[in-house]
């Protein structure tokens, strides 16, 4: 079963490029265009339906494949130049169609076919040969072992229902609805188990089988002519080949999607093709571990979680675990525990133990404390957790999804005390303390823990809660402590390397900061490249497409006394509210070259993702965020604010965060419109529509939401179900710590 989504965004070359401190320019720096960010397509529901139907037929008639073997007893014996029409799937219409193709390479373990309409346009012989070499002979992990040998050596044997040990790879434009320049996404590749099924056994169904071991590789918009595009496609090849092998061992008992995908996420990593960013998981751990979403946006979180979990298993237990797991007759957690029990090096650890150790590793990542509590893989994102600003709390309830974890982080104040109430059955608790050294200890519910050295010997305490129950649970806690006057949360502290970008005059750099109800702006700090004056503005936070909202201050000038120096501007006497967040923006006064030009220095965060640092590109008048093949670029801009905590005004340096209420689309609209919003914490969320008189017209959301991005549709009807009249309407997003209103127009 399955497909992988390798394309998350459209990359375009921008007018500014990265320059290292010594002035050497880094080639092929790329930016990610926010308004052209395509959405992933989840074809899994379409494929799973067929896989389940096959499984049911096999349970009733296990002799199906034996009859097929008797029917086809010879290999395909394709040669270069052989032509063949193959069945393929149109994922827009959910229909099958035929595609004409020609064999362009024959390897030890593969036949590579290319769709005739793509030959020498999107696919060339050079690219075909590169795929054949990778599949047969060489991977980044081992230059004498290809994908076939590597993946089968770990997971097991590929099926052979067509009496030919070679795997067919069909390179084509997968019909998935992708449209360049729009919000569409694409399917990078897929294995469809229906192709293993005899066509004669599919009588009366809509399915079409090629009766062959075949998987599909996309060539548009996948770009095989670039090194990155080719590596992504080879990543897909390893991913899909694992799905084929997994099906071979679970024909009538399909594996749980989460575990199958976790194996397929590990296969490219074992081959040396790298691993996806885990930031979507580490920023939101309170999702049931084995959940797999049918929502095309949420499924990326599932991929990140699956990838991270089995990366941990690979580092802890090696390839033998995967062999035992895939080839186990059971599925899911039962197979997981059986595989652990069968390892040649005995271990007493089972799923519940590993879930706790894994959660600690994600929040601590330090193997020097305990080999179970970290990773060897470099540049992994860490679970920072949910910051608890208010130290004095009584019976605060915290919900936990099944097999999920949450991390409560105390990082401001001093003399912390806390306790977990005796209402936490099946939940494990750990305390991690960070300072000159790091330690992890158990927490017992009903016990008061005092940390007098909090704020001195160590400045961060994480309470890690892990739900080992197969159902959603909750617990409550109490805490107390003293506040301090000034606290800094340096979101870029771990990424101290400084670079500059070659901007054009008139371009801009900015950082979005979260809304904090009742907070006042205290100061901003900017690290500047040069000593020439530079203009800065502060706005309320707008949308992701247009981050400059209402001006909170007049324009002001910043001047550094030395190159590469932090410059701070004080606003403590100006009473500027941050209820709607802030966007701190610096204007580039002149072209930035090796010799001249002032700008904000940037730092590199490993991994690709949106991190609230934005760049204005003058060539196409759009805001973008900046990534290369390995990193996300962060503007070195910070903000401090004062907030009333425990009756004391506290100055806190703000992290950029993800609360957003975006402009509806389309606007004006008729008859319906979409509204997208993002929440940072797990909390109650309300989204309501009001008319110009303030009367509530519709209630779109009134529910508890986990951190993430959501999209809802207003059908233009009021609460009684009648069509609302033409006019101006307001929509308001309200959470416990965020409140924003935007305007839209309905035209009948």
Give the lowest-confidence range in 224-228, 235-239, 661-665, 714-718: 661-665
Tell me the pLDDT tens digit for each residue of 548-581. 999 999 999 999 998 989 999 999 889 898 878 8
For residue 717, the domain's CATH number is 2.60.40.4070
Mean pLDDT of the chain: 84
More reliable by pLDDT, 684 or 160: 160
Q: Please give the Cα distance from 110 to 158 (Å, whole number).
A: 12
Do residue 448 and residue 506 come from a single domain?
no
If you average pLDDT over residues 466-474, what whole number do you get?
95
675 and 629 housed in the same domain: no
- Whether 278 is in a domain gets the answer no
The contacts found for 66-72 with CB under 8 angstroms, 24 or more apart, are 67/198, 68/161, 68/198, 68/211, 69/161, 69/163, 71/198, 72/162, 72/163, 72/211
What is the spatial distance between Cα 631 and Cα 625, in angstroms, rounded to a whole number? 11
Find out whether 380 and 450 touch, Cβ atoms under 8 Å. Answer: no
- Which residues does residue 683 pair with via DSSP β-bridges, in sequence order? 705
Q: What pLDDT shows up at residue 320? A: 98
Q: Which distant-in-sequence residues (6+ apart) come within 8 Å of 519 by Cβ?
A: 577, 578, 579, 641, 642, 643
Q: How confident is the model at residue 589 (pLDDT cuts 50, 70, 90)?
A: very high
Same domain, 738 and 640: no
Taking the CB of residue 207, how many other CB atoms lie within 10 A of it?
A: 19
Same domain, 641 and 672: no
Backbone angles phi, psi at 72, to 5 degrees: -120, 105
Q: Could you tell me the CA-to-CA distances from 172 to 108, 147, 183 in Å, in that order?
A: 22, 20, 21
- How far does Cα 91 stand from its chain's mean position? 23
Q: Judge if 649 and 666 occupy the same domain.
A: no
pLDDT in tens, 701-742: 988 777 766 778 899 999 888 888 877 788 888 887 677 777
Q: What single string gives the DSSP state of each residue in 538-595?
A: EEEE--SS--EEEESS--EEE--SSTTEEEEEE-TTS--B-TT-EEEEEE--S---SS
The enclosing domain of 447 has a CATH number of 2.60.120.380
In the chain, count of helices (H) and strands (E)?
11, 41
Cα–Cα distance measured from residue 600 to residue 566, given in angstroms and rounded to the nearest whole number: 10
pLDDT of residue 109: 98
Is 259 inside any structural domain?
A: no
Is residue 337 in some structural domain?
no
Query: What is the rounded average pLDDT of the residues 104-124?
Result: 98
Residue 332: pLDDT band (50, 70, 90) is: very high
Residue-level pLDDT at 581 = 82
Q: Which residues of 16-35 are buried (b: 16+ CB within 10 A; e: fewer)?
A: bbbbeeeeeeeeebbbbbbe
Last residue in a domain, options 223, 252, 281 = 252
Residue 605's CB is within 10 A of a number of other CB atoms, namely 22
Percent of the chain with pLDDT over 70: 84
- Count of structural domains within the chain: 4
Tokens of 549: 């909202």
> How long, in residues, is the chain?
748
State whether residue 89 is helix, strand or coil: strand
Distance CA 558, CA 525 (A): 10
Residues 619 and 704 in one domain: no
Question: In this structure, are 473 and 614 located in the same domain?
Answer: no
At 135, is the secondary structure helix, strand, or coil? helix
Query: For residue range 686-705, what is the model confidence (pLDDT) as tens digits?
Result: 899 987 666 788 999 988 77
- Six-digit token pair at 40? 């992933």
Full residue range of the structural domain in which residue 135 is found = 39-252
Instruction: Kindly calculate the radius of gyration of the chain based on its CA atoms and give it in whole angstroms.
Output: 28
pLDDT tier at 496, thresholds 50, 70, 90: low
């Amino acid at each position: 079963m399955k497909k992988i989504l390798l394309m998350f965004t459209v990359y375009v070359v921008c007018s500014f490029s990265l320059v290292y401190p010594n002035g050497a320019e880094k080639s092929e720096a790329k930016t990610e265009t926010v308004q052209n960010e395509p959405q992933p397509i989840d074809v899994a529901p379409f494929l799973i339906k067929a896989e389940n139907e096959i499984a049911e037929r096999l349970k009733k008639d296990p002799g199906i494949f034996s009859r097929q073997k008797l029917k086809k007893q010879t290999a395909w014996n394709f040669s270069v130049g052989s032509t063949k029409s193959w069945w393929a799937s149109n994922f827009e219409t959910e229909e099958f169609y035929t595609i004409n193709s020609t064999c362009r390479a024959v390897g030890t373990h593969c036949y590579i076919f290319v769709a005739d309409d793509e030959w020498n346009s999107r696919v060339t012989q050079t690219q075909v040969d590169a795929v054949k070499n990778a599949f047969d002979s060489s991977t980044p992990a081992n230059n004498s072992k290809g994908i076939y040998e590597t993946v089968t050596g770990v997971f097991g044997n590929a099926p052979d229902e067509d009496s030919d040990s070679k795997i067919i790879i069909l390179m084509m434009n997968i019909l998935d609805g992708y449209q360049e320049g729009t919000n569409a996404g694409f399917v990078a590749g897929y294995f469809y188990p229906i192709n293993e099924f005899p066509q004669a056994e599919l009588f009366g169904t809509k399915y079409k089988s090629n009766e062959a071991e075949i998987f599909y590789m996309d060539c548009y918009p996948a770009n095989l002519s670039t090194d990155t595009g080719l590596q992504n496609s080879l990543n897909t090849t390893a991913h899909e080949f694992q799905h084929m092998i997994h099906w071979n061992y679970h024909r009538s008992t399909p594996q749980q999607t989460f575990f199958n995908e976790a194996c397929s996420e590990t296969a490219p990593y074992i081959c040396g093709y790298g691993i996806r960013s885990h930031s979507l998981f580490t920023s939101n751990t309170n999702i049931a571990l084995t959940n797999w979403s049918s929502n095309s946006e949420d499924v990326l979180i599932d991929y990140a979680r699956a990838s991270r979990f089995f990366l941990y298993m690979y580092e802890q237990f090696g390839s033998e675990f995967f062999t035992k797991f895939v080839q186990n007759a059971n599925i899911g957690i039962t197979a997981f525990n059986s595989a652990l029990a069968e390892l040649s090096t005995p271990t007493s650890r089972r799923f519940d133990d590993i879930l706790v150790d894994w959660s600690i590793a994600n929040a601590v990542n330090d193997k020097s404390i305990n080999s179970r509590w970290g990773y060897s893989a470099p540049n992994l994102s860490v679970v920072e957790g949910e910051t608890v600003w208010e130290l004095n709390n009584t019976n605060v309830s915290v919900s936990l999804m099944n097999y999920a974890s949450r991390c409560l982080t105390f990082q401001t104040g001093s003399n912390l005390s806390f306790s977990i109430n005796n209402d936490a059955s099946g939940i494990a608790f750990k305390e991690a303390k960070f300072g000159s050294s790091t330690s992890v200890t158990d927490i017992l519910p009903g016990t008061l823990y005092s940390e007098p050295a909090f704020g001195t010997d160590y400045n961060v305490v994480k309470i890690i809660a892990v739900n080992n129950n197969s159902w959603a649970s909750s617990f409550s806690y109490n805490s107390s402590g003293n506040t301090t006057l000034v606290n800094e949360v340096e979101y870029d502290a771990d990424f101290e390397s400084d670079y500059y970008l070659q901007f054009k005059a008139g371009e801009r750099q900015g950082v979005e900061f979260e809304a904090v109800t009742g907070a006042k702006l205290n100061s901003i700090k900017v690290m500047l490249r040069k000593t020439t004056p530079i203009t800065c503005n502060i706005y309320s936070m707008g949308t992701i497409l247009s981050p400059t909202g209402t001006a909170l201050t007049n324009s002001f000038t910043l001047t550094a006394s030395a190159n590469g120096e932090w410059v701070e501007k004080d606003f403590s006497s100006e009473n500027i509210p941050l209820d709607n967040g802030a966007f701190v923006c610096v204007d580039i006064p002149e072209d930035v070259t090796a010799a001249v030009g002032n700008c904000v220095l940037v730092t590199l965060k490993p991994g690709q993702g949106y991190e609230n640092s934005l760049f204005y590109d003058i060539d196409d008048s759009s805001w973008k965020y900046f990534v290369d093949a390995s990193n996300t670029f962060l503007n070195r801009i910070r903000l401090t604010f004062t907030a009333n905590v425990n009756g004391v005004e506290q100055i806190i340096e703000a992290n950029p965060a993800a609360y957003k209420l975006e402009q509806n689309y389309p606007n004006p609209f008729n008859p319906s419109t979409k509204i997208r919003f993002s929440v940072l914490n797990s909390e109650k969320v309300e989204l309501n529509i009001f008319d110009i008189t303030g009367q509530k017209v519709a209630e779109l959301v009134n529910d508890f939401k986990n951190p993430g991005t959501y999209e809802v549709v207003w059908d233009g009807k009021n609460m009684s179900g009648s069509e609302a009249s033409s006019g101006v309407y307001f929509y308001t997003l309200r959470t416990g710590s965020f409140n924003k209103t935007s305007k839209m127009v309905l035209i009948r």
